[in-house]
Structure 1
Amino acid sequence: MSPETVQNFIALGLGFAVAGMLSTGYQMLVARPASFHALLTGNAAAYAHVPFLVFAAPFIIVRNTVRRERFENNNPIGVALATMIAGFWSLMSGTTVIVMLRALGLV
């Protein structure tokens, strides 16, 4: 396996791990699961949620897909599309986390 492939797998896993930690921490503090509904209010609090949602979105997308599949009979194309979106988003946020860690001298 090439070094770039290994780095992409690490970034993908790190992106999902950070998303899971942020979403679980949010749920622990606020006593409700993280969601995209905060963006619908349109006030200043909605803008404060954007940086959080940028990194927590892969977990929220996968959680919503699993919940929806459990209660409804979704088509497999929708599930595959949601999984690909969450995976790509996780790869990008994981890459951003790696870049931030390198900038801080931690990696």
Structure 2
Amino acid sequence: MSPIALNCFIQIAIGFAIAGAVASAYQAFVNRPPSFALLQQGPTPEGFAAVPLLVFTAPFVIMRNTLRSGAPEPHRFQFVMIATVLAGFWSLMSGTFIVLTLQALGILAGA
């Protein structure tokens, strides 16, 4: 495995881990899971606070919604694959942001 591929894999894992941790912390404080419905509150302080929350929890929310949809028929392969690719790409971007932020703060050694 090339170093670039390994780096991307680690960033995806960090993105999913951060998404799960932030979603679990939100659920522990508010007693309900985060969802994209938080954005429908309009221009209120809660609506604006939901944006950074959902930026980091989106991979978790996308996969949870995909796997827990109450459809009686099995999921179509294409739908699950698109949702997984979308959540993976979003996780890669948030993981990259976390890694670059830690490098800029001097907490993580840069390559």
Letter in 2 for 1:10: I
- The separation in 2 between residues aligned to 1:34 and 1:48, in whole angstroms, is 12
- 2:87 paired residue number: 86
- The separation in 1 between residues aligned to 2:40 and 2:76, in whole angstroms, is 27
- Which runs of 5 or more structure 1 residues have no equivalent in the other structure? none
Instruction: Output the TM-score relative to the length of structure 1.
Output: 0.94
How far 1:43 moved relative to its partner?
Answer: 2.3
- Which runs of 5 or more structure 2 residues have no equivalent in the other structure? none
Letter in 2 for 1:98: V
How far 1:76 moved relative to its partner?
Answer: 1.3
- The separation in 1 between residues aligned to 2:104 and 2:53, in whole angstroms, is 20
- 1:6 paired residue number: 6
Identity %: 48
Higher helix share: 1
Letter in 2 for 1:27: Q
CA distances 1:3-56 after superposition (whole Å, capped 9, x unpaired): 111100000000000000000000000000010101011122211110111011
- 1:59 paired residue number: 60
SS at match of 1:92: helix
Letter in 1 for 2:106: G
Instruction: Output the TM-score relative to the length of structure 2.
Output: 0.91
- 1:97 paired residue number: 98
- How many residues are treated as equivalent by the alignment? 105
Runs of 4+ in 1 over 3 A off after TM superposition: none
